[in-house]
């Protein structure tokens, strides 16, 4: 039994030591032979491109980017590096792959629980049954749309500049018969047919129906905005719903060029993309709102970015998913500083807790289905934004965003996981006032010393009012309607930044400041040191932990921010102090203590001068590096007690003559080394050595010293 345990322990150790670090193979996440480049001076783009022996596939009109074709044999990575070395290049990035925010399949019909949950019926009452309140164009950048679906056809955007089906590009935008939208990436030339070819999910059709399926028309279900005009902008293809970033950019440009006010982006890119950021900036400049699915990986986007959800823009709204019971489903990405709010996205495949909307499956035999995902949550907000704009056409994009944020229902499950801590409420959003609303604070984490912050939002007003963090007023240096620069004072509390004490705010964290000091940072071992941590924090500290050079934190009973410790053994100690405050902040501070080996009172232990026979025997051999180990053992285990000191004294009395003899005879030196080896190992690896000795004995392998020596040396070699 014991042997089994030993063997198991040895196996575990061997596995722990010899299994190499596994790293996942990188996925092919971009298209070969192409780049997306932004030039500082677009006039000189042609020159820069020809220097790289590349060519321009497309120059965008509304986005500041070029689509570049690389010469044969040049890898994307090489080309990115090469382009970046050109001073006229602002950024060069791969044409990344984009995927729909994956939707779990659900073949069952369910009820549209999401509509009463967000108070849609009450909101619809505001329309008094009319849809003659203007038509906001919502572009759905997705897998396309089944535009002849009976519940979608009434609300499909129709391009007034195009005569459908005549085979002529009537509006002269380069796309023939783009009547309901356009299709990018199926062929080199954009097509005018954005029909949804996602036979697995009908993703774009489902998203479109959530925004604007015709309501109150005795057909199927209802969308949020019965008066919306849905523009189908297809760039994701096939049942996998994959596409290329460049085609998403073409889609954004198309939507902006055709008058869309809202762009729904229920898709994800893992890579940070300058061009996607620029596309959202172009939307901002055009006064267009962007609604982004937070993504379906269950990530905290404050730590791991997903795009476009993670783009911090005054016109971008990132949306997490909520369930019918107002919880956050585990798949939903979230982020206290990144994701604005939650909206119904449903729980899971196969449950009634998913969102019912329009699809075109089985060649039109299936027209409705429930699916779940943040892909379903984003269009609820897009529909709400369109409804607000329908009723209040004079609002700016940031004012529409502000109304949505101010109109949320505060829900415990979304507190700390979203900026607003709430879930979409359509009725409240429609009735919300234009009050100061904070979208973003940069930086949102500061230390005790405070500092300057930039606050972005809406409805701040043109004349300075007041801005406060957790109720403490700040000094203002810049104030305009959408941006404020203010100073957080020293010793402020973590909390929410709010303007004029109104509206939705933004969480800011004040991290305690630690100054760690020692009465001395070096000296001869045993070294006694007073360690003192000065903590500056407005929050209360709930946990104090020390790591006295052992590599682990421990709460030391009776000790908080001051401790006296003796470093017995010579060595370099990496001392750390860690606190946790009542808001969950964890702060670590460290310093290094060096305890040196030699002391005036210890007997001298020269390495090979003939006094210490151990050093003499080990000199120049594999044991040589371990002499220090024996000395440490002497200093910490032997010199600290009376019998030990007697032994050391005895050793140094007899050692010089022994050293003198063995230094003259190589055979004696070798024999001495053999004799010393088990002692060294016993000190260095006591458990392992004992286990091997035990194992050897039990297995009956080693009665001879040679065998034992063999096993011991094997163990040793494992650890070197
Ligand atoms: Ca056209
Ligand atoms: Ca035409």
Looking at the structure, do residues 72 and 157 belong to the same domain, yes or no? no
Looking at the structure, do residues 473 and 557 belong to the same domain, yes or no? no
SS3 518: strand
Q: Say what the pLDDT of residue 707 is.
A: 38
Q: Say what the pLDDT of residue 528 is.
A: 95
Quick one: CA torsion of 543, 546, 547, 549, rounded to 10 degrees? 170
**Structural domain for 320, as ranges:** 114-431
Distance 261 CA to ligand 1 centre (A): 20
Q: Say what the pLDDT of residue 121 is.
A: 74
Looking at the structure, do residues 582 and 527 belong to the same domain, yes or no? yes
pLDDT at 665 over 60: yes
Distance 196 CA to ligand 2 centre (A): 20
Q: Average pLDDT, stretch 319-334?
A: 95
Distance 168 CA to ligand 1 centre (A): 7
Q: Say what the pLDDT of residue 222 is.
A: 78
Looking at the structure, do residues 317 and 377 belong to the same domain, yes or no? yes
Q: Determine, yes or no, domain membership for 6.
A: no
Q: Say what the pLDDT of residue 8 is.
A: 44
Distance 568 CA to ligand 1 centre (A): 82
Q: Say what the pLDDT of residue 107 is.
A: 34
The larger pLDDT score, comparing residue 711 to residue 675, is at 675
Two tokens, residue 195 = 């029909």
pLDDT class of 677 with cuts at 50, 70, 90: confident
CA distance 190 to 187: 6
Note the pLDDT tens digit of each residue in 492-549: 989 999 999 999 999 999 999 999 999 999 999 999 999 999 999 888 899 999 999 9
Q: Say what the pLDDT of residue 228 is.
A: 85
Distance 164 CA to ligand 1 centre (A): 9
As a whole-number percent, the residues of the chain with pLDDT over 70 amount to: 78
Checking 542-546 for CB contacts under 8 A at 24+ apart, the result is 542/580, 542/581, 542/582, 543/578, 543/579, 543/580, 544/577, 544/578, 544/579, 545/577, 545/578, 545/579, 546/575, 546/576, 546/577, 546/578
Q: Determine, yes or no, domain membership for 662.
A: yes
Question: Across the strands, what pairs with 137?
Answer: 229
The backbone torsions φ and ψ at residue 600, rounded to the nearest 5 degrees and listed phi first, read -65, -30
> Distances from the Cα of 517 to the Cαs of 315, 510, 529, 549, in angstroms?
47, 22, 10, 15
Q: Average pLDDT, stretch 487-491?
A: 93
Q: Determine, yes or no, domain membership for 171.
A: yes
**How would DSSP label each residue in 423-460?**
E--HHHHHH-----EEEEEES-EEETT-EEEEEEEE--
The backbone torsions φ and ψ at residue 185, rounded to the nearest 5 degrees and listed phi first, read 100, -15
pLDDT at 443 over 50: yes
Domain boundary (529, 564, 596) is at 596
Note the pLDDT tens digit of each residue in 198-211: 999 999 999 999 99
Q: Determine, yes or no, domain membership for 711.
A: no
pLDDT class of 702 with cuts at 50, 70, 90: very low
Q: Determine, yes or no, domain membership for 710.
A: no
Q: Say what the pLDDT of residue 689 is.
A: 59
Question: Across the strands, what pairs with 543?
Answer: 580
Domain boundary (372, 402, 431) is at 431
Contact residues for 374 (Cβ-Cβ < 8 A; gap 6+):
101, 266, 293, 294, 295, 296, 319, 320, 321, 331, 332, 333, 345
Query: How many distinct structural domains can be found in the chain?
Result: 5
Q: Say what the pLDDT of residue 638 is.
A: 72
Q: Average pLDDT, stretch 556-583?
A: 92
Distance 158 CA to ligand 2 centre (A): 12
> What's the chain's average pLDDT?
84
As a whole number of angstroms, the longest Cα–Cα distance in the chain is 111
Note the pLDDT tens digit of each residue in 614-646: 666 666 566 666 666 666 676 677 767 777 766
Q: Which of 5-14, 96-105, 471-480 has the highest mean pLDDT?
A: 471-480
Distance 198 CA to ligand 1 centre (A): 24
pLDDT at 116 over 90: no
Note the pLDDT tens digit of each residue in 582-619: 888 899 999 999 999 875 444 444 443 445 666 666 66
Distance 159 CA to ligand 1 centre (A): 8
Distance 676 CA to ligand 1 centre (A): 90
Looking at the structure, do residues 422 and 540 belong to the same domain, yes or no? no
Q: Which ligand is nearest to the CA of 172?
A: 1
Q: Determine, yes or no, domain membership for 422.
A: yes
Q: Determine, yes or no, domain membership for 417.
A: yes
Q: Average pLDDT, stretch 237-246?
A: 93
Q: Which ligand is nearest to the CA of 173?
A: 1
pLDDT class of 350 with cuts at 50, 70, 90: low
Q: What is the CATH number of the domain that holds 502?
A: 2.60.40.10
Note the pLDDT tens digit of each residue in 171-225: 999 999 999 999 999 888 899 999 999 999 999 999 999 998 887 676 677 788 8
Distance 169 CA to ligand 2 centre (A): 5
Looking at the structure, do residues 541 and 555 belong to the same domain, yes or no? yes
Of 84, 219, 211, 81, whose CA–CA distance to 142 is shortest? 211
Looking at the structure, do residues 277 and 251 belong to the same domain, yes or no? yes
Distance 178 CA to ligand 2 centre (A): 7
Domain boundary (398, 414, 431) is at 431
Q: Which ligand is nearest to the CA of 165?
A: 2
Q: Which ligand is nearest to the CA of 164?
A: 2
Contact residues for 561 (Cβ-Cβ < 8 A; gap 6+):
532, 533, 534, 535, 544, 577, 579
CA distance 210 to 230: 11
pTM > 0.95 = no
CA distance 183 to 198: 13
Distance 172 CA to ligand 2 centre (A): 9
SS (H, E, C) 338-384: CCCEEEECCCCCCCCCCEEEEEEEHHHCEEEEEECCHHHHHHHHHHH
Q: Determine, yes or no, domain membership for 693.
A: no
Of 356, 23, 386, whose CA–CA distance to 226 is shortest? 386
The larger pLDDT score, comparing residue 710 to residue 572, is at 572
pLDDT at 238 over 70: yes
Q: Average pLDDT, stretch 483-498?
A: 94
Q: Say what the pLDDT of residue 717 is.
A: 27
Looking at the structure, do residues 652 and 519 belong to the same domain, yes or no? no
Q: Say what the pLDDT of residue 134 is.
A: 58
Distance 189 CA to ligand 2 centre (A): 15
Strands in 513-518's sheet, in edge-to-edge order, are: 513-518, 527-536, 562-567
Looking at the structure, do residues 91 and 126 belong to the same domain, yes or no? no
pLDDT class of 710 with cuts at 50, 70, 90: very low
- Over its C-alpha atoms, the chain yields an Rg (Å, rounded) of 35
The larger pLDDT score, comparing residue 205 to residue 558, is at 205
Note the pLDDT tens digit of each residue in 60-75: 999 999 999 999 999 9
Distance 485 CA to ligand 1 centre (A): 45
Distance 251 CA to ligand 1 centre (A): 14
The larger pLDDT score, comparing residue 701 to residue 394, is at 394
Distance 161 CA to ligand 1 centre (A): 7
DSSP conformational letter for 40: S
Distance 178 CA to ligand 1 centre (A): 5
Looking at the structure, do residues 54 and 195 belong to the same domain, yes or no? no
Looking at the structure, do residues 258 and 385 belong to the same domain, yes or no? yes
Looking at the structure, do residues 285 and 319 belong to the same domain, yes or no? yes
pLDDT at 19 over 70: no
Q: Say what the pLDDT of residue 203 is.
A: 95
């Amino acid at each position: 039994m014991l042997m089994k345990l030993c063997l198991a322990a040895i196996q575990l150790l061997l596995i722990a030591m010899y299994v190499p670090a596994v790293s996942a193979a990188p996925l092919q996440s971009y298209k070969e032979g192409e780049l997306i480049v932004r030039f500082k001076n677009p006039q000189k783009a042609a020159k820069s491109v020809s220097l790289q022996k590349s060519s321009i596939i497309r120059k965008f009109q509304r986005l500041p980017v070029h689509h570049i074709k690389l010469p044969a044999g040049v890898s994307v990575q090489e080309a990115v590096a090469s382009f970046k070395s050109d001073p006229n290049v602002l950024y060069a990035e791969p044409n990344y792959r984009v995927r729909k925010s994956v939707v779990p399949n659900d073949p069952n019909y369910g009820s549209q629980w999401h509509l009463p949950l967000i108070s849609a019926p009450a909101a619809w009452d505001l329309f008094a049954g009319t849809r003659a309140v203007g038509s906001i164009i919502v572009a759905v950048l997705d897998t396309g749309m089944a535009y002849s679906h009976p519940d979608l056809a009434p609300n499909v955007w129709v391009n007034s500049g195009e005569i459908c089906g005549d085979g002529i590009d009537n509006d002269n935008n380069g796309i023939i018969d783009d009547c309901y939208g356009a299709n990018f990436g199926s062929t080199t030339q954009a097509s005018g047919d954005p029909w949804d070819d996602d036979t697995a999910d009908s993703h774009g059709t489902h998203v479109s129906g959530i925004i604007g399926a015709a309501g109150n028309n005795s057909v199927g279900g209802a969308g949020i905005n019965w008066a919306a005009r849905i523009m189908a902008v297809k760039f994701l293809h096939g049942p996998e719903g994959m596409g290329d970033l460049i085609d998403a950019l073409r889609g954004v440009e198309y939507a902006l060029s055709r008058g869309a006010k809202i762009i729904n982006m229920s898709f994800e890119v893992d890579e940070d993309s300058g061009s996607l950021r620029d596309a959202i900036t172009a939307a901002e400049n055009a006064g267009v709102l962007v609604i982004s699915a937070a993504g379906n990986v269950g990530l905290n986007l404050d730590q791991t970015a997903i795009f476009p959800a993670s783009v911090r823009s005054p016109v971008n709204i990132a949306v997490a998913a909520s369930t019918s019971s107002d919880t956050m489903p585990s798949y939903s990405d979230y982020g206290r500083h990144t994701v604005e709010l939650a909206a119904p996205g449903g729980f899971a495949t196969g449950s009634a807790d998913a969102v019912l909307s329009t699809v075109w499956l089985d060649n039109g035999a299936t027209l409705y289905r429930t699916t779940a995902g943040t892909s379903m949550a984003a269009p609820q907000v897009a529909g709400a934004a369109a409804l607000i704009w329908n009723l209040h056409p004079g609002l700016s994009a940031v004012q529409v965003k502000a109304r949505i944020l101010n109109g949320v229902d505060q829900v415990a499950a979304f507190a700390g996981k979203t900026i607003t801590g709430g879930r979409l409420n359509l009725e409240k959003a429609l009735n919300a006032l234009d009050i100061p609303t904070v979208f973003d604070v940069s930086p949102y984490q500061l230390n005790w010393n405070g500092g300057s912050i930039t606050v972005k939002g809406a409805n701040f007003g043109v004349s300075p009012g007041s801005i406060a963090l957790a109720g403490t007023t700040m000094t203002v240096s810049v104030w305009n309607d959408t941006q404020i620069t203010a100073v957080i004072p020293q010793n402020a509390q973590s909390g929410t930044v709010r303007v004029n004490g109104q509206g939705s705010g933004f969480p800011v964290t004040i991290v305690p400041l630690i100054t760690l000091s020692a009465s001395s940072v070096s000296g001869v071992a045993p070294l006694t040191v007073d360690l003192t941590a000065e903590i500056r924090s407005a929050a209360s500290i709930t946990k104090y932990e020390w790591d006295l050079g052992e590599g682990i934190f421990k709460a030391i009973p009776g000790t908080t921010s001051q401790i006296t410790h003796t470093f017995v053994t010579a060595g370099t100690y990496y001392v750390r102090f860690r606190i946790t405050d009542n808001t969950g902040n964890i702060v670590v501070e460290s310093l290094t203590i060096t305890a040196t080996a030699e002391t005036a009172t210890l007997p001298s232990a020269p390495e090979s001068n003939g006094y210490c026979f151990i050093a003499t025997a080990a000199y120049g051999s594999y044991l040589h590096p371990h002499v220090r180990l024996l000395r440490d053992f002497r200093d910490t285990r032997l010199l600290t007690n009376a019998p030990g000191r007697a032994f050391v004294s005895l050793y140094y009395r007899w050692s010089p003559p022994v050293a003198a003899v063995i230094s003259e005879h190589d055979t004696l030196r070798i024999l001495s080394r053999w004799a010393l080896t088990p002692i060294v190992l016993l000190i260095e690896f006591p458990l392992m050595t004992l286990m091997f000795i035990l194992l050897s004995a039990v297995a009956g392998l080693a009665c001879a010293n040679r065998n034992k020596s063999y096993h011991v040396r094997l163990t040793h070699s494992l650890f070197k």
